[in-house]
Amino acid sequence: MVEWIQDLDKKARPVPSRQSGARILMLMTSLDISNNYNIDPDNVQTLGRYQIICQLGQGATGIVYLVWDPFIRRNVALKVAKTETDKFRENFLAEAQSAGRLSHPNIVAVYDAGSENDFCYIAMEYIKGATLENFCRKENLLPPNKGLEAILEVCKGLEYAHREGVIHRDIKPSNILLNLDGSAKITDFGVAQMTDRTFTTSIRGTPHYLSPEQVKDEIVSFQSDIFALGCVLYEILAGEKAFPGENSYGVLYKITSTEPRSILSIRSDLPKVLDEIVRKAIRKDPSERYQSCAEMAAELDVALRGIVASPRNLEKSKEVADYFQNLSFFADFKKEQLSELTALANIVKFPGGKVVASEGEIDDTFYIILSGQVKVRKGEKDIATIGTGECFGEMAFLGGQPRVANVAAEGDCVLMKITAALLQKLPDSVGLLFFRSFARTLVQRLSKNLEERN
Ligand SMILES: Nc1ncnc2c1ncn2[C@@H]1O[C@H](COP(=O)(O)OP(=O)(O)OP(=O)(O)O)[C@@H](O)[C@H]1O
Ligand SMILES: [Mg+2]
């Protein structure tokens, strides 16, 4: 570990609570270890305007903290890096600016960036969840359909960034965050570009996802991101790296000169088409790879349908479907339709008190409560309690309007999360059943409202 990281971390230990001690220290100054500002390290509680809550993790470039932004009143992830040269600072801020212009549901939003004394920071959207790195080990792999769904979302985010002319250059599992609701978000656009431009000759962090052209210091293109994404796909399916090695040199040699073994030799249950997709994404020659992430996504989508329809998977989701069939929302669904749906849908557990949907947000997701109940609030007022077998969020889904109320879990609850994109993947007949259930729900709510008024 780099020494300054140890020092920085020591000085910014998590504070017990963001309310405790109102003393505002200019952390950027206090962290300048070499200048010896006579600062008491135990009192370091803020970083610029951000109040440190705890450390979220650290990488080769810096430390990421969970902080509280008192102006906007929200939690934010703050990445802090030591400014090594003026050029570093210039690139860091310029690239944070370009990353800040990217706005996409599958890209971590950048809110703010700055530098003070020897440090630069980027404030970004805080993702409560885990990085894909946690699901790259054999003992902790995601079910293949969930892994593919995450990679499909990364494809969407990257396709958008590429259209905006931005190459990530550092796609790897630790730069893909999985939200608690199962959606995937790409992070480190700014830092990745900065790192690459500033340190072309020395490799920081892990080299396992570098494309052959990056290794050879040749022209980097959108296809370099596709190569890296192919390596990530390999890893989340196989539970091992596409280009493993004892040391960086071994890895780099493999990237430029060898082919990884087939994922089918590691996991024979995967469809052959996935092996073909991975191989196409990681071709040595960029012109032989997918020419866009949209192209790769289209093939992944076909593979996903194949996996969902596989006899083993359908068997498993049939068992789950048995349980859901008793819920009122699914009253009109046939068992096969329900198992097709459960194979594709995200089922998410929310702890009591956790906000599931917020007033004002624009989102096409709706939820069906599989167990437990949620509370609907508008401002300070409780509007309704919705229980097992009912749905919520359908108005925003149907009308495309911002959400009109907050919804929070009341006690632990399990929700089925449905997006417009998921509905498109289902046969029209299943889509119609959803609309029938929506209509029934709306009529029931309307008549309940009328009863209460009378
Ligand atoms: N926006 C975020 N929300 C929540 N956690 C985050 C966020 N960004 C990063 N993290 C956490 O911080 C950790 C460190 O991230 P960081 O980007 O510094 O390291 P890395 O990706 O492993 O390496 P590198 O420095 O090469 O990017 C991540 O693994 C993740 O757990
Ligand atoms: Mg990172």
Give residue-wise pLDDT tens across range 46-90.
778 888 899 899 887 788 999 999 999 999 999 888 887 888 888
Q: Please, are residues 37 and 30 in contact by the beta-carbon 8 Å criterion? A: yes
> Which residue CA neighbors atom 24 of ligand 1 most closely?
59
- Residue 60: which domain range? 41-124
> Which residue CA neighbors atom 20 of ligand 1 most closely?
59
Instruction: At 357, list the tokens.
Output: 């949907």
Q: Confirm whether 414 is domain-assigned.
A: yes
Q: What pLDDT shows up at residue 84?
A: 78
Q: Confirm whether 143 is domain-assigned.
A: yes
Q: What is the atom index within ligand 1 of the atom nearest the CA of 172?
A: 21
Residue 133 confidence (pLDDT) above 80: yes
- The C-alpha atoms of residue 421 and residue 248 are separated, in whole angstroms, by 40
Query: Does residue 163 sit in the same domain as residue 276?
Result: yes
Query: Does residue 166 sit in the same domain as residue 302?
Result: yes
**5-14, 135-144, 208-217, 339-348 — which one is most confidently predicted on average?**
208-217
Question: For 427, how many CA atoms within 13 A lie in the half-sphere containing its CB?
Answer: 10
412 C-alpha to center of ligand 2: Å?
31
- 3-state secondary structure (DSSP) of residue 447: helix
Least confident of 160-169, 186-195, 269-278: 186-195
Q: Confirm whether 327 is domain-assigned.
A: no
171 C-alpha to center of ligand 2: Å?
9
Render the burial of 241-268: b for 16+ CB within 10 Å, e for the rest: bbbeeeeeeebbebbeeeebebbbeebe
Please tell me the number of the ligand nearest to residue 127's CA: 1
> Which residue CA neighbors atom 9 of ligand 1 most closely?
64
Domain holding 151: CATH number?
Answer: 1.10.510.10
Q: What pLDDT shows up at residue 403?
A: 86
Query: Does residue 283 sit in the same domain as residue 158?
Result: yes
Structural element, H or E, at residue 287: none
**40-44, 95-99, 117-121, 133-137 — which one is most confidently predicted on average?**
133-137
pLDDT band at 205 (very low <50, low <70, confident <90, very high): low
Q: Confirm whether 23 is domain-assigned.
A: no
* Amino acid at the residue 180: L
Q: Confirm whether 6 is domain-assigned.
A: no
Q: What pLDDT shows up at residue 41?
A: 37
Query: Does residue 289 sit in the same domain as residue 189?
Result: yes
- The C-alpha atoms of residue 320 and residue 340 are separated, in whole angstroms, by 11
Query: Does residue 95 sit in the same domain as residue 135?
Result: no
Q: Please, are residues 281 and 226 in contact by the beta-carbon 8 Å criterion? A: yes
Q: Please, are residues 348 and 335 in contact by the beta-carbon 8 Å criterion? A: no
pLDDT tens readout for residues 306-320: 776 666 666 666 667
Instruction: At 7, list the tokens.
Output: 């020092």
Residue 252 confidence (pLDDT) above 90: yes
| Crossing angle between the packed helical segments 428-453 and 335-344, to the nearest 10 degrees | 90
pLDDT tens readout for residues 6-57: 444 444 433 333 333 222 222 322 233 222 222 233 445 777 888 889 989 9
Which chain residues have CB less than 5 Å from ligand 2, an ion? 59, 175, 188
- 3-state secondary structure (DSSP) of residue 197: helix
173 C-alpha to center of ligand 2: Å?
9
Pocket test for ligand 1, best of 4, 56, 210 (most atoms within 8 A of CB): 56
Query: Does residue 199 sit in the same domain as residue 295?
Result: yes
Please tell me the number of the ligand nearest to residue 77's CA: 1
Q: Confirm whether 348 is domain-assigned.
A: yes
CB atoms under 10 Å from CB of 453, counted, come to: 6
Q: What pLDDT shows up at residue 74?
A: 94
| Strand residues in 146-199 grouped as ranges (E) | 176-179, 184-186
Query: Does residue 154 sit in the same domain as residue 291?
Result: yes
pLDDT band at 174 (very low <50, low <70, confident <90, very high): very high
Last residue of a domain, one of 124, 155, 188: 124
> Which residue CA neighbors atom 17 of ligand 1 most closely?
59
Pocket test for ligand 1, best of 69, 187, 248 (most atoms within 8 A of CB): 187
Nearest to 419 by CA among 341, 351, 353: 341
Q: What pLDDT shows up at residue 216?
A: 92
Q: What pLDDT shows up at residue 145?
A: 87
> Which residue CA neighbors atom 28 of ligand 1 most closely?
57
- CA 102 → CA 22, 107, 158, 327, 453, distances in Å? 35, 8, 10, 41, 47
Nearest to 327 by CA among 310, 313, 309, 347: 347
| Strand residues in 38-194 grouped as ranges (E) | 46-47, 50-58, 62-69, 74-82, 110-116, 119-125, 129-131, 176-179, 184-186
Question: For 430, how many CA atoms within 13 A lie in the half-sphere containing its CB?
Answer: 19
The percentage of residues in the chain with a pLDDT greater than 70, rounded to a whole number, is 84
Strand order in the sheet with 62-69: 46-47, 50-58, 62-69, 74-82, 119-125, 110-116
Looking at the DSSP assignment, which residues form a beta bridge with residue 67?
52, 76
Residue 206 confidence (pLDDT) above 80: no
Residue 160 confidence (pLDDT) above 90: yes
Pocket test for ligand 1, best of 69, 131, 136 (most atoms within 8 A of CB): 131
Instruction: At 225, list the tokens.
Output: 């991101």
Q: Confirm whether 141 is domain-assigned.
A: yes
18 C-alpha to center of ligand 2: Å?
25
Instruction: At 239, list the tokens.
Output: 């539970």
304 C-alpha to center of ligand 1: Å?
28
Q: What pLDDT shows up at residue 312?
A: 62
- CA 114 → CA 49, 89, 100, distances in Å? 11, 9, 12
Least confident of 88-97, 176-185, 439-448: 88-97
Residue showing tokens 């198992």: 339
Q: What is the atom index within ligand 1 of the atom nearest the CA of 130?
A: 31
Q: What pLDDT shows up at residue 313?
A: 62
Instruction: Give the phi and the psi of residue 384 in degrees, each rounded to 5.
Output: -160, 160
Q: What pLDDT shows up at residue 311?
A: 64
Please tell me the number of the ligand nearest to residue 206's CA: 1
pLDDT band at 96 (very low <50, low <70, confident <90, very high): confident
* Amino acid at the residue 289: R
Query: Does residue 423 sit in the same domain as residue 395?
Result: yes
154 C-alpha to center of ligand 2: Å?
15
Last residue of a domain, one of 94, 124, 154: 124
- CA 367 → CA 191, 414, 416, distances in Å? 35, 10, 5
Q: Confirm whether 274 is domain-assigned.
A: yes
Question: For 313, how many CA atoms within 13 A lie in the half-sphere containing its CB?
Answer: 20
Q: Which residues are identified as catalytic?
A: 170
Query: Does residue 216 sit in the same domain as residue 265?
Result: yes
Query: Does residue 176 sit in the same domain as residue 269?
Result: yes
Residue 192 confidence (pLDDT) above 80: no
Domain holding 47: CATH number?
Answer: 3.30.200.20
Q: Please, are residues 65 and 56 in contact by the beta-carbon 8 Å criterion? A: yes
Query: Does residue 254 sit in the same domain as residue 221?
Result: yes
Q: What is the atom index within ligand 1 of the atom nearest the CA of 206?
A: 26
Q: What pLDDT shows up at residue 310?
A: 65
Least confident of 27-31, 171-175, 278-282: 27-31
Q: What pLDDT shows up at residue 344?
A: 76
Taking CB atoms and a 6 Å cutoff, what residues make up the pocket around ligand 1? Answer: 56-62, 64, 77, 79, 108, 124-127, 131, 174-175, 177, 187-188, 191, 205
Residue 116 confidence (pLDDT) above 50: yes
Please tell me the number of the ligand nearest to residue 58's CA: 1
Query: Does residue 213 sit in the same domain as residue 305?
Result: yes
Considering its fold, how many domains does the chain have in total?
3
Last residue of a domain, one of 79, 94, 124: 124
Q: What pLDDT shows up at residue 199?
A: 38
pLDDT tens readout for residues 383-413: 889 998 899 988 888 887 788 899 999 988 8
Q: What pLDDT shows up at residue 182?
A: 77
DSSP state for residue 108 in the 8-state scheme: P
- The C-alpha atoms of residue 188 and residue 226 are separated, in whole angstroms, by 16
Q: What is the atom index within ligand 1 of the atom nearest the CA of 195?
A: 26
Residue 241 confidence (pLDDT) above 80: yes
The mean pLDDT value of the chain amounts to 81
Looking at the DSSP assignment, which residues form a beta bridge with residue 177?
131, 185
Q: What is the atom index within ligand 1 of the atom nearest the CA of 79?
A: 18
- The C-alpha atoms of residue 357 and residue 360 are separated, in whole angstroms, by 9
